[in-house]
Amino acid sequence: MPQIFVLTILFYFIQTYVSNPGISSLALSIYLKETIGLSASESAHFVAIAFLPWMIKPIFGAIADSFVLFGYKFKGYFVICYGLATGFFLFLATLKSYSLPVLTVGALLISTCIAFSDVLADKFMIEVGKPIGKTGQLQSLQWAGLGLGGVITSYLGGQIAQHQNLSFAFLVSAVLPLAGIVAVLIWMPETKVKSGTISMRQSLHSLWAALRSPSFLAIAGFVFLLGTMPLPPLLYYQRDVLKFSEDFFGILGAFSFLGVGLGAITFGIWFRQFHQNTLLKLSVFASVLSALAIAFIFDKNSAILVQVFSNCAAIIAFLSLSEVFVRSCPEMIEGTFYACFVSVVNLAATFGAIIGGWLYDQGFAFLLLAIGAAFYGILGWFLIPFVNRKIIRDRLQ
C-alpha cells in the first residue's frame, strides 16, 4: 500500500511539473502575451487548443481499458507517455525562437501525452481504491501531490521566467518524466496479463449505455454549469493593472498550489465520507466562494491570501463532484467513464476561460466579472434536487 500511495502522489506531481500547468507555463504565457502579442481571449483560445486532448480523454480511456501494452495494463502506457513527453520537450529546447504554430503543436503533443497518463492515473486510482473503499483517500493524495508539485514548480517557474529564456524552461521540463519512468518500472505492483479488461467494442458499447444514463447526464450538466463560470483572466489583470513581476508570479503560483494541497487534505480528512446530497451542496458553496474571493485581489498581499483560499475552495468543489461521480462508475470501464467526467470538467473550464477573457477584452471590469461569475455559480444550487433524483432513480433500476 505505501508504494500505491507514493505512485498516486507522483503521477499528479509529474502532471503538474510537465503540463498542468507545467514548470514552463509562466514563461510560455508571458512569451505569448509580450513577444507574440496575444490578447486575453487569444491566449484563452491557445490554451483551449493545447487542452484538446483533455477533452477527448474518454478515447484514451477506451484504449487503456481495451488493450494492454507489452503485457501490462499500466506500465507500458506510462513509459510511452512519459518518454514521448520528454522527447518533445528536448526538441523544443533546441530551438532558438518560437512561432505561434510551433508552440501550439508542441503544447498539443505534450498535452496529449500527459492527458493519456492522467487517464491511466485515474484508472489506477479507481481500480485499486474502489474495492477497498479508498477512492476518496487516493483522490485526496492525487491532489495533494498536485498541490505539492504546483508549489515547487510554480516557484521555480517564476525564477526561470524572470532569469532564463523559454528554451531553458523546456529543457528542465524534460527532467521529471524520466524519473516517472524509473518509478513505474520499479514500484508499480503489476503482473503481466494477456488482454485488456474489456474489448474495445464492449468498452464503447458499455460507455455509450452509461453516457445515456440519467445519472451521468444530470451530473455532467451540473458540472458543466459550475465549470463555465466566466472568470476573468488573472494573468492579464495582475500583469497589466497590478504590475506583478515574473518572480512574484512564481511565488503567487506556489501559494495557489499550497491552497490546492490544503483543500485536498481538508477534503480527505473531513468531507470524503459525506452523503451525496451534502457533497453536491458543498461543491456549489465552495465554487461560489472560490469565484467571489478573487474580487478581493488589490495588491501582492491580498493576492497571496486570496489565491490560497480560492484554490483551496476550488479543489474542495472539484473533489466533491469527483467523489459523487466515482461512486456511480460502472465496473470494467472505470478509466473510460471517469475520463468522461474529467473531459466535461475541462471542456467547461475552457468555455468559462474563453468567455471570461472575451468579456475582459471588451472592457468589463475585473471586479464585476468576478462577482458575476459567483452569482452565476449560485444557479447550481437549484439543480441539486434534480441531480439527486436522477442518481437515485438509476441506482434503483
* pLDDT for 202: 72
Model confidence, pTM: 0.76
| Alpha helices (H) along the chain | 2-18, 25-30, 40-50, 52-55, 57-66, 75-93, 100-129, 135-163, 166-173, 175-187, 200-211, 214-227, 234-240, 246-266, 276-293, 300-327, 334-361, 366-378, 384-396
Number of domains comprising the chain: 1
Q: What is the CATH number of the domain that holds 153?
A: 1.20.1250.20
Task: Give the CA angle between residues 269, 275, 278 to the nearest 5°.
Answer: 90
Closest CA to 169 of 80, 103, 235: 103
Residue 217 makes CB contacts below 8 A (sequence gap 6+) with 211, 390
pLDDT band at 396 (very low <50, low <70, confident <90, very high): very low
3-state secondary structure of 129: helix
243 φψ region: left (φ > 0), alpha (ψ -120 to 50), beta (else):
left
Distance, in Å, from the CA atom of 222 to the CA atom of 174, rounded to the nearest integer, reads 37
3-state secondary structure of 71: coil
Looking at residues 17-32, what average pLDDT do you find?
A: 85
DSSP one-letter string for 34-64: III---HHHHHHHHHHHTHHHHSHHHHHHHH
* pLDDT for 220: 84
Distance, in Å, from the CA atom of 189 to the CA atom of 203, rounded to the nearest integer, reads 24
pLDDT for 36 beyond 80: yes
Render pLDDT for 1-16 as a digit per residue (tens, 0 to 9).
Answer: 677 788 888 888 898 8
Closest CA to 226 of 318, 122, 309, 341: 318
Chain-centre distance for alpha carbon 348: 12
* pLDDT for 198: 59
Closest CA to 122 of 358, 357, 338, 351: 338
Render pLDDT for 190-214 as a digit per residue (tens, 0 to 9).
Answer: 777 766 555 667 767 767 776 777 7
Looking at residues 273-293, what average pLDDT do you find?
A: 89
Which residues form the domain of 257? 2-396
Render pLDDT for 57-98 as a digit per residue (tens, 0 to 9).
Answer: 878 877 887 788 888 888 889 999 999 999 999 999 999 889
Distance, in Å, from the CA atom of 12 to the CA atom of 150, rounded to the nearest integer, reads 10
pLDDT for 331 beyond 70: no
Distance, in Å, from the CA atom of 171 to the CA atom of 94, rounded to the nearest integer, reads 8
